[in-house]
Structure 1
């Protein structure tokens, strides 16, 4: 009798844990330590769950005594795998089609460089080849950003260099931004403030013509920084109130984490480019595991004045030194 009760408690506990991991928004737990990390790696968690379910089913076939318990646990794991797969299917596994770029089109490249790791030449070449008008570079020094702009300028692509730096202790404390001269002159909006621990910033066109640009990099959800991480997401959502806005960077979060902050879009009133183009299940971090299993934490978002005509996670730079994959988006003005 005691064994049956213990087995039932184990099954209920596993089912409850899997429900929280698969649908934390149901209980408002997506911002909690542990849950936030698991839901980021939804595909990996679902894959591991499927493997464990197969192992338990094999044990059930081999052991009559353990059959009821192991089979029940396997069913719970398979249901979690199915839930994870269903959620990921709604977000898309990689539609990389880009429409022809219009006259008012804007191409955005974002890459967390892990402290300048890929080097100026590689980043500049990627930006040039993809025709980037806006390049957002979290964890990238002012010096490297200038070198990238110089290399792009040498090939006829003039880029203005902007940055926000908290200090020189670590390159992670700097977020750099390059803006094409074709978009006009930009200046920082110091009244907007920044995320804590790691900087984010807002830049606006000097003549008032053009989108506000937000370079985003809230701190990662690690022990000791969870309050700052939550505040960072709230700061980003607060920026997503104006229609003429483009936001990009390393958000250290997925669509799952934004549910409490969503209004007309996925984050505030901003729409996520990967979600719009059916590519939101593809992971941009870390590069050491396949993109299909990774965490989609690097994003390009926009206000309602813009629509996405292309998005992809760039997978051919995994050996460049960064633990993040670059992401590329193309947008067109709605009117």
Structure 2
């Protein structure tokens, strides 16, 4: 009886290793397509950990070939995940600072807590997603109107609303791209000294079912970095660095602020007490000519997302 049981365990180990290897190939090759593979990419950091566990268990059961194969898969997956926890070289910049906060308010985020974050971190521009009329009113009642008086708001009664709040004069920017699914306002911010910064509040639908193609279309249509303007894309991208579509966007002239300072593995969703955050889908992207001095991932009561704060240094 021992031999058949051992063979079954061996086949189980090799089946898991084969599935992990397929996952690694899809991730490294950027081959994910369709709803399920696209969602699977979001948890690639856990896939690397799972491969390590399979390698250890296989070794304990003296299945050395399976242990070696799982270890190789784990190393491959870790190679694309671990660097974002160590940061990257920063460009030398001589421009002004720009302190940015983005938060998906979930239609009921604690307005007073958001205003306190704006005050505590001396935020200059806020990208607010899932902004309802009631939350917009609550933010102003809590003091947002005094802290960030300029705004380009497109609130709604449901999750499709978004808005940009700014300390600096803000002018709505139209025609930059075609929003799909959610309102995604863009604005030109006029900083002191005549500097201009373009900011987009990003929030595509998640890549669930038929919306996966729509999600890809939004990421593909977002504006590239420009030599004539400094651009910042801030919001809930419903995407992680393990998505090919998101990496393609970065390759068009941006860096992920959190990854630049070693915070790229800090999860932002879901932020419920019973369920800790497990994936990183909220981001601040900035022109790669800019520097990133500091990033923090912050809790916002009553929202299912954590906020992302970035202290940027403009070129």
TM-score range, shorter chain: 0.7 to 0.9
Q: How many residues align structurally? A: 302
Partner of 2:269: 285
- Whether 2:23 is the aligned partner of 1:21: answer yes
Partner of 1:144: 135
> Offset at 1:120?
1.0
Unmatched tracts of structure 1, length 5 or more: 61-66, 96-101
Partner of 1:90: 83
> Offset at 1:175?
1.2
298-307 or 210-219, which moves further after superposition? 298-307
> Offset at 1:93?
6.1
Distance 1:84 1:152, change over 3 A: farther
Unmatched tracts of structure 2, length 5 or more: 89-93
Distance 1:245 1:11, change over 3 A: same
Does the 8 Å contact 2:103/2:127 carry over to 1?
yes
CA distance in 2, matches of 1:306, 1:54: 43
> Offset at 1:6?
10
Distance 1:15 1:302, change over 3 A: same
Does the 8 Å contact 1:94/1:312 carry over to 2?
no
CA distance in 2, matches of 1:285, 1:267: 24
Distance 1:30 1:241, change over 3 A: farther
Give deviations 1:192-237, integer Å, cap 9, x for gaps.
244311222211247984201111011111112110111111122x
Partner of 1:120: 111
Distance 1:130 1:213, change over 3 A: same
Does the 8 Å contact 2:256/2:284 carry over to 1?
yes
> Offset at 1:109?
0.8
Does the 8 Å contact 2:292/2:313 carry over to 1?
yes
- Per the normalisation by structure 1, the TM-score is 0.77
- Per the normalisation by structure 2, the TM-score is 0.81
State the SS of the aligned residue for 1:34: helix
Partner of 1:271: 255
For 1:143-222, list aligned pairs within 5 A: 143-153=134-144, 157-165=147-155, 168=157, 170=158, 172-180=159-167, 183-184=168-169, 186-205=170-189, 209-222=195-208
- Whether 2:302 is the aligned partner of 1:321: answer yes
CA distance in 2, matches of 1:142, 1:133: 22
CA RMSD in angstroms, aligned pairs only:
3.4
Does the 8 Å contact 1:164/1:176 carry over to 2?
yes
